[in-house]
Chains A and B, each alone.
Chain A
Amino acid sequence: MISQVFILSSKGDHLIYKDFRGEARSDAVSVFYEKVTALTGDQPPVVMTHQDLHFVHVRQGGLYWVATAAADSSPFTLIEFLNRLTALIKDYCGSLSEKSVRMNFALIYELLDEAVDYGYIQTTSSDVLKNFIQTEAVSSRPFSLFDLSNVGLFGAETQQSKVAPSSAAARPILSGREQGGKSEIFVDVIERMSVVIGSNGVLMKADIEGEIRVKCYMSSCSEMRIGLNEEFSIGKSQLRGYGAAVRVDECSFHQAVRLDEFDNHRILRLCPSQGEQTVMQYQLSDDLPSAPPFRLFPTIERDFGGRLLMYLKLRCDLPPKSAAINVSVTIPVPKGSLSMSQELSSPDQSAELKPQSKAVVWQIARFPGGTQLSALFKLEVPGLSSASMLEVGPVGLSFELPKFTASGLQIRFLRLSPVQPGPAQRWVRYVTHSDSYCIRV
């Protein structure tokens, strides 16, 4: 049972405030913001309590999404609801930002009104809600030259004909109804990787959390069939086919997915509802089909002048056709570091010493597979001692691997039935993100 829901900007502006039960105090918003600002860190705990008020919040799109509830409410339900609410608003408004929430506040009030009654969640399915929602979304995307240039999917490739622009999926779901917009369907295979590599280069931990997300902009679509790799297997015992098996440890499906063809042909059947939904989730631990995408060879030493020398060689072990983009390497350095000089192997990289987070951040816009980059950082650290070397590392990498799945999962085909009358466009996109990629030095 939810007592109030409100949305706050990161600066504490009230964007949305809805009191469902009229029981809690009306100053809850300011109480919440006071609690947030009273904390030192920038990450307030998920659950906060003030007298008899219990706040549960999630942070998305730079906003605080807060619900107040009784102490015995289920945290899973509240968090899932708030996450679902953000997803709904993203579906309806196109994107999730302070601006889009401000512009569409009437729509959001309407959504909240239909989704929750008297603090009880009625429905969050966009299929049901679309019958009730009357307000039109105001698109918050400003006109920009950037949209005109044919930037490829993740800003990486420029095969215009084959690849949908990355902003294609960031539009309101209902706008198609009146404008006769394209009927499109996006199937995204998104994987998050968390890896720990020991200082000796041994892979210590590797987890992949993956999901298949369907984003549907079609007004009518009776059934969709998604074919996965034939060799796809679940669990350790099962092995299929003779090729390289694509294996996951655990796998769960959306309740709307029918699995009658899954056992034999690895086909998922479902009737997608408008908007975004996660069709399948899977996990894989420790046993990756391929080598981890990055390896680091660091040499870290002190020179006689009390400077810290870090010579880093970073190797990308992806297949030569793929590339990693937006690679950012974060190297924690001793607290006393004052300044840094750098030598990078190519001009499209950059590096910076971030004083407040005590780290050197090395940015690589594009990093093709099978290549190697190196960088030399010289840090001025007064009072450098041998113990200070403990402060260097572990190195964290964040990156995006477009058109690549670490588990090897692929979508063989995507069929819609009945065959769409108009020009229906189907997009399949793959991406692997780094959840946490740590290399110890």
Chain B
Amino acid sequence: MPYLGSEDTVRELRRALSNPNVQSDHLRYRNTILKVIRAMSQGVDVSGLFSEMVKACATVDVVQKKLVYVFLCSYASLNPELSLLVINTLRKDCQDPNPMVRSLALRNMTNLRLPSLVEYVEQPLTAGLRDRAACVRRVAVLGWAKLHNLQPNSDIDAAVVNELYSLLRDPDPVVMVNCLRALEEILKEEGGVAINKPIAHHLLNRLKECDVWGQCEALKVLQRYRPQSEDELFDILSLLDPSLLSPHPPVMAATVSLFLSLCSGLPAVSLSALERVRGPLLAACGSASREMRFAALCHIQLLLRSLPGLMGAHYKRFFCGYAEPAYIKQRKMQVLVELVNDDNVALVLDELKGYCTDVNTDTAQAAISAIGRIGRSYSDRCLEILTGLLGLKQEHITSAVVQTVRDLVWVCPQCSDAVCLALEGCEETLQDSQGRQALLWLLGVYGERVSSAPYVLEVFIDGVRSEVSLGVKTELLTATMRLFLCRPAETQDMLGRLLHYCIEEETDMCVRDQALLYYRLLHCGIEETRKVLQGRRSDPSLGVLIGRPAEPVSQWARSFNTLEPLRQDAAETDSASGGSAEPVTSDPKPNTDLSDTLNPSQVEMVHTEGASLCPESSADFLASAAGVPLSLSLSPALSPEEFERLWLRRQGLHAERGGEEKEEEEDCVCVEERVHCPAPPRCSPQSLQAALQLVNIQALAFTPPHTLPWRVYLYTHTTHTHSHANAPRTTLILGELLYTGEAKESKGRVKKEADDGEDAGEGAMEGKEEEKEGEEVTDDRLSERETEGGEREEEEVKVTLKQQPRDEEALKAFLSILATVLQTLSSERA
């Protein structure tokens, strides 16, 4: 920052510098120069002293020389002409017998950053490459890189490049590493220094001589090397193994990066390398430097994406120290959430509970939402803690709890009773708009179970005039509408007032439009309104992920050992990625509320339409499927978020298209099928996952076994060669398996005949399996059967598939594979 009176300072300094008495006194001269540098580093513009400082450069005092160079290098670009004067002194210094002076002159010559001086610099630099002293060679090598960057468009001097390549064999390790760095810069356009086998082996052999920084640099460059044979690869890996356990985190991280890039084709090897690095990473997590701890934590989060079990036994290492900064605490909580299992859940929750009352509100809120995340699997214990926190009646805690609870009931509707009980009285402490929005949403959805709901809403409606948050207003509209549907007598009057205010007085267009929409909707009749407002939403069970599939290492290998994982926003996406795929949960922004409230109508339409879009019978599909060569693959991997986006986009498309037949769409296709298989809802997620993965189908989400409706979401990529087109076609298939468990009494019998027919058509094998399954009856099914009077119930799994681009043959083939898997699973259980 510019200091007041900087001009005076400069004038004063100039007078002192040009004073002959000062110049003759060695110490006073140096002190004056010190003052100049001090002013410079404090931000004072001392560029006016350039000519005086140039004169000061010609001295035998090395300290003074160094000081003047600091000055000259900062201001040379402002005074290119005067800088020419310095060059002479510098060139003379390059001949000095003292290597320190030579390297100093050479370094600063190249640091002046003046393209006009390049011609004077080249000769000393060339000489510097062959200097006896290593410290001069170090500087000269990097000097060429600086020179090249000064004239980025000039041709690369092949002689220099060759010289640099030969200096890779220099006895001094720093010269060698500097050569690597310089070549990387000079040959940037050609992809950096060429790493062939001799160079790679040379670097690997000399790795031990380098210091930490040199090792990191060499390891980074080696990432580009591709060993020619597997033997060579494993030789390199075993050579690098000790570095993996290096006590220096930079070396350890660089080695891991190199391992990951060398083993990109061998996932098993990279996973075992990651296991080995657990110890050093944990040690870095306990390092004395808080910043180092943070970096290690962020990288552990990356590792956990592929190896969820990596840190299971060490969860206590992620308990927060009470004096740790908030950014570490929040990351540690994110890690803790990932490590929860049946054995440690009590301890972890106990620990997290302690953080909920942290002085830092961000930490407290992060702890509360971490408890909410754990609540998806252990809802009872977590709800107990969360509702306990409401008793504190503190604004930020209540707000965070209400938001967390909203997200929790979305995923675990079974918690709603406890939540409804806890909501009473919250409105008094809530101040911020996020928290109030969450409360309104809860009151709207569970209004009939919260006795005070209308009164709470009334308070909000009375204060709507002074409400500033648009999000709260739109949420209030929706909540009041919903409440009106279930408790009309208490709500009618206030709904009228609210709509009147929003339509007549509200200035914001969004709020007003929404109010108008509801007003017109009410004109259409109560049934119509109910359909829109209480329609099905996107599916909460999507969020319940049991055994979230481990990401392949390649997904994040690139960002390992970069700043990427340490960024603030990276943390947020990380925490979201483990969560449900539901938009409200992962992204509770006020502006999503509108779309959220409008969503149900779309979803509703899609579902009614979807039911009618069941054109072909499975028999056709399965019969024609045989004999088509088809291969499935999992790459490129699809993230849960991406899956949901595609899945919902398809739905949206249908909704927009309205009555149009789906067959007319060119790039995608959506079909529904029914497959017989009674077992999956009862088999464990692990075995289902394993079975699907055998045939390269990835299941993304499932409901826990024995719950109804039971769903699985899955995807795969198909590749097959058409009989009439030679190029292989690849398509992406997204699928949903739905088992409602409702005995379709009305259709049951009719269906049964049809199904039997299908079975016959399909082949005797499967038919037999069906029979077997029918005979093998578990206890609960037995009772079921008895209640139904001995009639055999056909159990079917509804399969909804979406494919892009459209390829009927592949789809048929896929369906037959899927059916086989499901039926095999049932027979295995049998």
Binding site for B on A (CB under 8 A): 12-17, 19, 22, 29-30, 41, 43, 45-49, 54, 56-59, 69, 71-77, 79-83, 105-106, 109-110, 113, 117-118, 120-125, 131-132, 134-135, 192, 194, 196, 198, 204-205, 207, 209, 211, 250, 252-254, 281, 283, 285-286, 330, 332, 335, 357-359, 385-388, 390-391, 393-394, 396, 398, 435-436, 438, 440
In the complex, the answer to whether B324 meets A76 with C-beta atoms within 8 Å is no
Do B563 and A69 have beta carbons less than 8 Å apart?
yes
Q: Which of B13-61 contact A (CB under 8 A)?
A: 34, 37-38, 41-43
Across the interface, do A75 and B561 meet the contact criterion of CB distance under 8 Å? Answer: yes
Q: Do A285 and B317 form a contact, CB below 8 Å, given A41-B326, A134-B66, A252-B247?
A: yes
Bound CA–CA A13/B44 (angstroms): 12
Main DSSP-derived SS at the B contact region: helix
B362 touches A41 (CB 8 A): yes
Contacts of A43 in B (CB 8 A): 325-327
Contact of A253 among B62, B247, B294 (CB under 8 A): B247
B203 at the interface (CB under 8 A from A): no
CB-CB under 8 A for A394 and B70, given A58-B291, A71-B564, A387-B392: no
- Within the complex, which residue of A12, A14, A57, A390 is in contact with B357, where a contact is CB–CB below 8 Å? A390
Q: How far is the CB of A369 from chain B (nearest CB, A)?
A: 23
Chain A's closest residue to B279 (CB) is: A250
The secondary-structure label for the interface of chain A is mixed
Q: Which A-chain residue is minimally distant from B139 (CB atoms)?
A: A117
B77 cross-chain contacts in A, Cβ below 8 A: 22
Does chain A have a CB within 8 A of B216? yes
Contacts of B142 in A (CB 8 A): 117-118, 120
A-B CB contact pairs (8 Å), 21 listed: A14-B1, A30-B1, A43-B326, A56-B563, A59-B290, A72-B563, A76-B250, A76-B252, A77-B213, A80-B292, A110-B63, A120-B181, A123-B174, A134-B66, A207-B316, A390-B356, A390-B388, A390-B389, A391-B392, A398-B323, A436-B323
Query: Cβ of B74: which chain A residues have Cβ within 8 Å of it?
Result: 19
| Interface-central residue, B212, B282, B356, by most chain A CB under 10 Å | B212
Judge if B631 is at the interface, Cβ distance under 8 Å. Answer: no
Counting CB contacts under 8 A, is B254 at the interface?
yes
Is B248 part of the binding interface, using a Cβ–Cβ cutoff of 8 Å?
yes
| A393 and B354 in contact, given A47-B567, A120-B217 (Cβ under 8 angstroms) | yes
Asked if A335 contacts B322 (CB within 8 A), the reply is no
Within 8 A of A (CB), among B770-827: none
The 6 closest A-B pairs by CB, nearest first: A436-B321, A387-B391, A252-B247, A396-B322, A43-B325, A121-B213
Given contacts A120-B181, A436-B323, 5 further A-B contacts (CB under 8 A): A12-B1, A56-B563, A77-B253, A205-B316, A283-B283
8 Å CB contact of B394 from A113, A124, A335 = A335
Q: Are B212 and A14 in contact (CB under 8 A)?
A: no
Is the C-beta of B67 less than 8 angstroms from some C-beta in chain A? yes
Q: Give the docked Cα–Cα distance between A192 and B316 (Å).
A: 16
Residues of A within 8 A of B213 (CB): 77, 81, 120-124
- Is the Cβ of B391 less than 8 Å from the Cβ of A83? no
Instruction: Give the residue among B282, B326, B357 with the most A Cβ atoms within 10 A.
Output: B357
Cβ of A13 and Cβ of B62 under 8 Å apart? no
* Neighbouring B residues of A204 by C-beta, 8 Å: 316, 347
Question: Does A54 contact B563, Cβ atoms closer than 8 Å?
Answer: yes
Q: B322–A438 contact, CB under 8 A?
A: yes
Other-chain residue from B67, B319, B564 in contact with A106 (beta carbon distance below 8 A): B67
- Give complex CA distance A363, B331 in Å: 31
Q: Which B positions have Cβ atoms within 8 angstroms of A?
A: 1, 34, 37-38, 41-43, 62-63, 66-67, 70, 74, 77, 100, 107, 113, 135, 138-139, 142, 145-146, 174, 177-178, 181, 211-213, 216-217, 220, 245-250, 252-254, 279-280, 282-284, 286-292, 294-296, 298, 314, 316-317, 319-327, 347, 350-351, 354, 356-357, 359-360, 362, 388-394, 561-568
With A118-B142, A123-B211 known as contacts, the answer to whether A46 contacts B174 (CB < 8 A) is no
Residues from chain B with Cβ under 8 Å of A335 in the complex = 394
> Which residues of chain A are within 8 angstroms of B216 by Cβ–Cβ distance?
74, 77
Q: Verify B568–A75 contact, CB threshold 8 A.
A: no
Q: In whole angstroms, how far apart are the Cα atoms of A47 and B297 in the complex?
A: 13
Task: Say whether B359 contacts A80, CB under 8 Å.
Answer: no
Closest to B362 in A: A41
**Is B288 touching A357 in the complex (CB atoms < 8 A)?**
no
In angstroms, Cα B351 to Cα A392, docked, is 14
Contact of B288 among A118, A207, A209 (CB under 8 A): A209
**Given A72-B563, A77-B213: A283 and B362 interface contact (C-beta under 8 Å):** no
CA distance A196 to B247 in the complex (A): 26
Complex Cα gap A20–B347 (Å): 49
Closest B residue by C-beta to A116: B213
Chain B hits for A386, CB < 8 A: 391
Closest B residue by C-beta to A12? B1
Shortest distance from the beta carbon of A136 to any chain B beta carbon, whole Å:
9
With both chains docked as a complex, state the minimum distance between the C-beta of B362 and any C-beta of chain A, in angstroms.
7
Which residue of the partner chain, among B63, B319, B564, contacts A196 with CB atoms under 8 Å? Answer: B319
Q: Which one of B320, B327, B360 contacts A46 once the chains associate, using CB atoms below 8 Å?
A: B327
> Which of chain A's residues have a CB closer than 8 A to the CB of B245?
252
Contact B286 A207 (CB under 8 A): yes
Measured between beta carbons, the chain B residues less than 8 angstroms from A391 are: 357, 392
Complex CA distance for A238 and B290, rounded to whole angstroms: 32
Inside 8 A of A286's CB, which chain B residues have their CB? 316
Given contacts A74-B254, A250-B279, contact A387 B62 (CB under 8 A): no
Instruction: Tell me, in angstroms, the Cα distance from A254 to B246 when the chains sit together.
Output: 9
- A15 to chain B: closest residue by CB: B41
Taking CB atoms, residues of chain A closer than 8 Å to B178 are: 117, 120, 122
CA–CA, A45 and B388, complex, Å:
31
Residue among B77, B249, B390, B566 with max Cβ neighbours from chain A (10 Å):
B566
Chain B residue nearest to A19 in the complex (CB): B74
Contact A283 B295 (CB under 8 A): no
- What CA separation (Å) do A430 and B211 show in the bound complex? 29
Query: What are the residues of chain A within 8 A of B283 when measuring CB–CB?
Result: 209, 250, 252, 281, 283
Q: What is the minimal beta-carbon distance from B369 to any residue of chain A, in angstroms?
A: 18
B394 vs chain A, min Cβ distance (A)? 6
